[in-house]
């Protein structure tokens, strides 16, 4: 699994845990809802800047988004 997929899985899981919609996350991070959706589907790679904005919006350390979860 590549980091793009890891980030997509983690981002979706954390967003759902916080009971946020993609639209709410996008607004918090200053991104478009379409872009957030593309990241969650692993169709695009987020830049380091965007990674930071999403992490800040989710109130987590950016490393959490790119750390594979143990099974």
Per-residue model confidence as pLDDT tens digits over 2-52: 999 999 999 999 999 999 999 999 999 999 999 999 999 999 999 999 999
Among residues 54, 18, 9, 15, which one has the least CA distance to residue 35?
Answer: 54
CA distance 58 to 71: 23
The 10 Å Cβ neighbour count of residue 16 is: 10
Summary count for the chain: helices (H), strands (E): 5, 0
Confidence of residue 70 (pLDDT cuts 50, 70, 90): confident
Say if pTM beats, i.e. exceeds, 0.75.
yes
Q: What is the pLDDT of residue 17?
A: 97
CATH of domain 3-65: 1.10.260.40
Confidence of residue 62 (pLDDT cuts 50, 70, 90): very high
CA distance 16 to 48: 22
Angle at 13 between CA 2 and CA 49, to 5 degrees: 60
């Amino acid at each position: 699994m590549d980091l793009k997929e890891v980030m997509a899985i983690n981002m979706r899981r954390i967003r759902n845990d916080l009971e946020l919609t993609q639209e709410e996350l996008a607004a918090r991070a200053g991104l478009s809802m379409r872009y957030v959706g593309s990241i969650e589907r692993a169709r695009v790679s987020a830049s380091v800047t965007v990674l930071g904005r999403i992490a800040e919006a989710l109130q987590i350390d950016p490393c959490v988004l790119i750390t594979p979860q143990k099974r």
